[in-house]
């Protein structure tokens, strides 16, 4: 199986494990990855996931074009508004950390846009070259990228199709950190462990408010935010957190 899925406490480790093919995704891999994300979404014991690629060359170089393009052209693979494997439109409100160990292009960059915090190694490259092949990035980039980085940078990446370096990705806000290779997973885990110390219901509600508030008028988004905030403040965790702060101890959140 080309998708490794390990659960360690509250952290899920998801690894695209096909380094001999630059961690490209076949249709079967994409289906398996989608099932992993749905399991992560539904598993109440898991609070955060770290997504990475096996080996030291590639995070993910996208779909396996030799297989996928004929499938798309023949109709065997349907281009859908929801593609779980690419984190497209599945409403997963648990945080996902992308640990980019190398090449992150095409579908690899598309899935990265579905993550929330992104760490890249110094050697990593990023790009969407679909237009150079007469293709269309179908996993959400025309929607997500202009919302996540400045418009002009998004359009350069989408329309020109050239790759950018890790330092450029950091500069335009596509990455949170650029680190040496030997610091990649430890940096990702530091973020994961810090998130796991926070109230899980609060964390998920914050992400839900951000994602659902993206494309609705601001005045409506405030109602959404207020409703989610009311739900959080009505939980036992919201009582435990301030109490622990006053008592100068770490809170014990139970997700209730």
Tell me how many domains the chain contains.
Answer: 2
Tell me the two tokens of residue 38. Answer: 């749905």
Q: Characterise 48 by phi-psi region: left (phi > 0), alpha (psi -120 to 50), beta (else).
A: beta
Give the C-alpha distances (Å, rounded to integers) separating 255 from 46, 60, 101, 207, 220.
11, 33, 32, 15, 27
As beta bridge partners, residue 48 has 11
> Quick one: 136 and 229 in the same domain?
no
189 is catalytic: no
Asked if the structure places residue 253 within a domain, the reply is: no
Residues 232 and 185 in one domain: no
97 contacts 118 by C-beta, under 8 angstroms? yes
- CA–CA dist 244, 238 (Å, integer): 10
What is the phi/psi pair of residue 110, to 5°?
-65, -45
Residues of 126-161 as b/e, b for ≥16 C-beta within 10 angstroms?
Answer: bbbbbeeeeeebbbbbebbbbebbeeebbeebbeeb
Q: Is 130 a catalytic residue?
A: yes
Task: Tell me how many helices (H) and strands (E) the chain has.
Answer: 10, 10
As a whole number of angstroms, the distance between CA 139 and CA 156 comes to: 18
| CATH number, position 9 | 3.90.226.10
Domain assignment present for 213: yes
Which segments of the chain have a pLDDT < 50?
none
| Residue 114 domain-assigned (yes or no) | yes
Residue 161: the pLDDT is: 95
pLDDT in tens, 71-129: 766 666 677 788 899 999 899 999 999 999 999 999 999 999 999 999 999 999 999 99
Based on the fold, state whether residues 180 and 207 are members of the same structural domain: no
Q: Is residue 86 a part of any domain in this protein?
A: yes
Q: Which of 67, 110, 122, 156 is catalytic?
A: 110
Helices 200-213 and 218-233: crossing angle, nearest 10°?
A: 170
Question: Is there a single domain that holds both residue 208 and residue 81?
Answer: no
Domain co-membership, 25 together with 100: yes
Asked if residue 166 belongs to a domain, the reply is yes
pLDDT of residue 138: 87
pLDDT at 72: 67
Own/partner pairs for 241-244, CB < 8 Å, 24+ apart? 241/199, 241/202
pLDDT of 26 reads: 87
Q: Is the Cβ–Cβ distance between 86 and 105 less than 8 Å?
A: no
Q: For residue 252, tell me if it sits in a domain.
A: no
174 in any annotated domain: yes
44 and 68 co-located in one domain: yes
**Whole-angstrom Cα distance, residue 24 to residue 69?**
13
Give the tens place of pLDDT for each residue, 127-136: 999 999 998 9
Q: Are residues 176 and 208 in the same domain?
A: no
Q: Are 84 and 14 contained in the same domain?
A: yes
- Its domain, for residue 218, covers 200-246
The answer as to whether 256 is a domain residue is no
**Active-site residue among 122, 123, 130, 189?**
130
From CA 13, how far away is CA 49, in angstroms rounded? 6
Q: Quick one: 138 and 180 in the same domain?
A: yes
179: three-class secondary structure by DSSP: strand
Are 236 and 149 in the same domain? no
């Amino acid at each position: 199986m080309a998708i490794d899925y390990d659960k360690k406490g509250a952290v899920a480790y998801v690894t695209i494990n096909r380094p001999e093919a630059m961690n490209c995704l076949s249709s079967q891999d994409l289906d398996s990855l989608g099932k992993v994300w749905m399991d992560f979404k539904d598993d109440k014991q898991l609070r955060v996931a770290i997504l990475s690629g096996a080996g030291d060359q590639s995070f993910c170089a996208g779909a396996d074009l030799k297989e996928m393009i004929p499938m798309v052209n023949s109709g065997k693979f349907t281009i859908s508004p929801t593609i779980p494997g690419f984190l497209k439109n599945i409403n997963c409100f648990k945080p996902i950390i992308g640990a980019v160990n190398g090449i992150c292009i095409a579908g690899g960059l598309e899935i990265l846009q579905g993550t929330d915090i992104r760490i890249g190694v110094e050697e990593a490259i990023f790009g969407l070259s679909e237009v150079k092949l007469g293709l269309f990035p179908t996993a959400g980039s025309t929607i997500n990228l202009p919302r996540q980085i400045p418009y002009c940078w998004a359009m350069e990446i989408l329309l020109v199709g050239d790759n950018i370096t890790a330092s450029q990705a950091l500069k335009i806000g596509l990455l949170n950190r650029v680190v040496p290779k030997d610091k990649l997973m430890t940096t990702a885990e530091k973020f994961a462990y810090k998130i796991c110390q926070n109230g899980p219901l609060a964390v998920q509600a914050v992400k839900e408010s951000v994602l659902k508030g993206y494309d609705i008028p601001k005045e409506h988004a405030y109602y959404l935010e207020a409703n989610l905030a009311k739900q959080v403040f009505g939980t036992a965790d919201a009582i435990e957190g301030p109490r622990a702060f006053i008592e100068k101890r770490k809170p014990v959140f139970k997700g209730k």
